[in-house]
Chains A and B, each alone.
Chain A
Amino acid sequence: SFVAGVIHPWRVSAFERLLWRACRGYLVANFVEMPEPMEDPTTGESITWVIFLISYWGEQIGQKIRKISDCFHCHVYPYPESEASREDTISGLHSQIQDLSVVLEETEQYLAQVLDKVVVALPTWRVQVQKMKAIYLVLNLCSFDVTEKCLIAEVWCPVRDLTQVQDALRQGSYKSGSSVECFVQRIPTSESPPTLIRTNKFTAGFQSIVDAYGVASYQEVNPAPYAIITFPFIFAIMFGDVGHGLLMFLFALWMVLYEDSPSLRQASNEIWLTFFEGRYLILLMGAFSIYTGFIYNECFSKATVIFPSAWSVATMANHSSWSSAYLATHPSLTLDPNVSGVFRGPYPFGIDPIWSLATNHLNFLNSFKMKMSVVLGIVHMSFGVLLGAFNHVHFRQWHRLVLELLPEMIFLLALFGYLVFLVFYKWITFTAAESLVAPSILIHFIDMFLFTSNADNLPLYRGQVPVQTVLVVLALASVPVLLVGTPLYRWSRSRAPRTGRPAPVATVEQEPLLEGQEAGNSVNSTKEDVESGEHGADDKHLDLAEIFMHQAIHTIEYCLGCVSNTASYLRLWALSLAHAQLSEVLWTMVMRNGFVRLSYVGGVVLVPVFAAFAVLTVAILLVMEGLSAFLHALRLHWVEFQNKFYVGAGYKLCPFAFAPDAWE
């Protein structure tokens, strides 16, 4: 009799020993290793099993053997006694194996065919599923009608596009072949509408830097069209250098000319995308920097002599008899504009190139740049105050024109406009002949506020003191007008008997629409005050106190802000000085060393020197200084310019679009 089975290879020796001991040698055991590993059905590992065949005689030994095999977790198989039945079993098993392998093959082939068919159709399916998912996501935003038969979506729509929306709805209903049409209905609301400013690819960059500070309130004047030019201009004042501006301009030009190339558009680097989005901004910044570079007469820190210099060294030398011996003993000498013929009229375009050779050029340049910063700052701020007039006119708040704009302008112009006048007056009327007794504008300005006078400081013009007194009194008088004018006016208006209720939400505003079966985005439910008309004062005391408080804060902020913001514009001077000094340092300490040797060796040395100069120019002057000037120009716009008129409390319209994560 036989017992045949398979056993785990690790248990073979123990199994053999146990069998030998248990059956006392009344058996013959044969162990053969399998030719290839097979998978264990219980654990799934592939193990090289060992096949064993035990021949024994005697029933009891057989039972013992079977029990032992059970203990060792062997898989036992029936082993027929006779040779013929063994052969039959083997052939039966072989045919079974063949059948099974045929079935497996056919199944795999069939599977491959099905998968091939699916691969062709898979992209279409994916798109369909994405579309369905996106549509359902949007439909989830709608709400159900009372009758539960249709969906309602409340959306904001610009009045100008209303007919387009109606057309689109009609087309959609027609194409889908539905019996019920979608329709649109305007409903009144007291919510404040979102702000929509239409931009093209050029203006989008500038609008985004204005929006980064605050989205314009509904129908407020938008500072972006002016910022298109003033922002690059203010940047250029701080960056002024022809060479650096040209590099920046060319970089931006490359981006603009190749803006449709997909490799530029779809880069994943965020920093690159930021630069790419602002390519028109950088283009204008570079262009204006070239202009201011010409005015500052700086090209990689070197001055260009386009026109002959206005200062004549020869005349001075002849007048003071500067012989070569005299020059040898005096290391530095000054040109005197009082000597006739030395100064021949101002350089027609920009700063005279002689100043870049002078050792005292910072004396002149600092005075020029500080006055320039103050003048440009006051002009910028006045422009900001004037823009407020657009707001007052648009919202029909005429009283604010007289009670707010006028006192603000008087305050600003009487004090700081007068300062601008003093600067220009001194430039025009005081010549070198009076240079020893030239009055100091700063001392005059301080004395103007303190109502004192300084005997050493000559007046600029006859009658200066009374004029200044009048201006200061005018400015001081405008402060209380600004403080209580508007609140008193509104209070008196609310106390006067009214003929009827003021019209509810004015017709010029956008109103939400009611649509069925068409989706839109739900509206932010911000209960902000609508900026049109005046509300009936339900609770007069609270309203009045709030108005007074608001106006007091505004007055203090404006008056103190005028002083501090004017000083803040001095950063235009500071940054342009820093830029000029940095580029000069790069020239004298890096590039000039490449020109020291005049031999062929010098030519070879020039190459790495230029490489260092180029790398440092790009890294420090273009990137670092560029970012710095950008930041300060941004600050000047956001704070000093915009706090004169801009409220920026609105929210943007999110136009209807499928959410991008629906495409995942």
Chain B
Amino acid sequence: RALGFALPLVLFSAFWGLVGIAAPWFVPKGPNRGVIITMLITTAVCCYLFWLIAILAQANPLFGPQLKNETIWYVRFLWE
């Protein structure tokens, strides 16, 4: 089953977009509002960027994993 690249991209972008862009509007007014909004946006940017780097680095692999023969036997018959 093909995993696809578009679906995770859309899902995670939407999720972190929600955290970083939509959620700040709903923070209740109080003395900590500014800090909480800063925290939300920073978290969204950091975590999204980190996930994006991880998935882009694997999108077009230039070489594949080198496995021991035992591992190949195990994975072939027990994972698939």
Interface residues of A (CB under 8 A from B): 200, 203, 225-226, 228-230, 233, 237, 291-292, 295, 307-314, 316-317, 322, 324, 327-328, 330-337, 342-352, 354-355, 357-361, 363-364, 367-368, 371-372, 375-376, 379, 424, 427-432, 435, 438
Contact = CB atoms under 8 A, between A and B. Distances in A.
Given A348-B7, A432-B64, 20 more contacts: A230-B42, A233-B43, A312-B80, A327-B72, A342-B64, A343-B61, A344-B2, A345-B2, A347-B58, A348-B8, A349-B12, A350-B54, A354-B65, A357-B71, A359-B68, A360-B63, A361-B65, A364-B65, A371-B53, A435-B63
B28 interface: no
Contacts of B12: 349
A354 B68 CA distance: 12
A355 B12 CA distance: 23
Contact of B76 (A317, A360, A424): A317
B14 interface: no
Interface in B1-48: 1-5, 7-8, 12, 32, 34-35, 38-39, 42-43, 46-47
28 contacts: A225-B39, A228-B42, A229-B43, A233-B46, A292-B50, A295-B50, A308-B79, A309-B79, A310-B3, A313-B79, A327-B73, A333-B69, A335-B64, A335-B65, A343-B61, A345-B3, A345-B4, A349-B55, A360-B65, A364-B61, A364-B63, A364-B65, A368-B57, A375-B53, A376-B49, A430-B60, A432-B60, A435-B63
A314 B1 CA distance: 13
A359 B2 contact: no
Interface residues on B, range: 35 or more
B62 A438 contact: yes
A333 B66 contact: yes
Interface of B: 1-5, 7-8, 12, 32, 34-35, 38-39, 42-43, 46-47, 49-51, 53-69, 71-73, 75-76, 79-80
B72 A333 contact: yes
A193 B31 CA distance: 24
Contacts of A376: 49-50, 53
A241 to B, nearest CB: 15
Contact of A368 (B3, B54, B75, B80): B54
A332 B54 CA distance: 26
Contacts of B79: 308-309, 313
A432 B43 contact: no
Contact of A334 (B5, B49, B63): B63
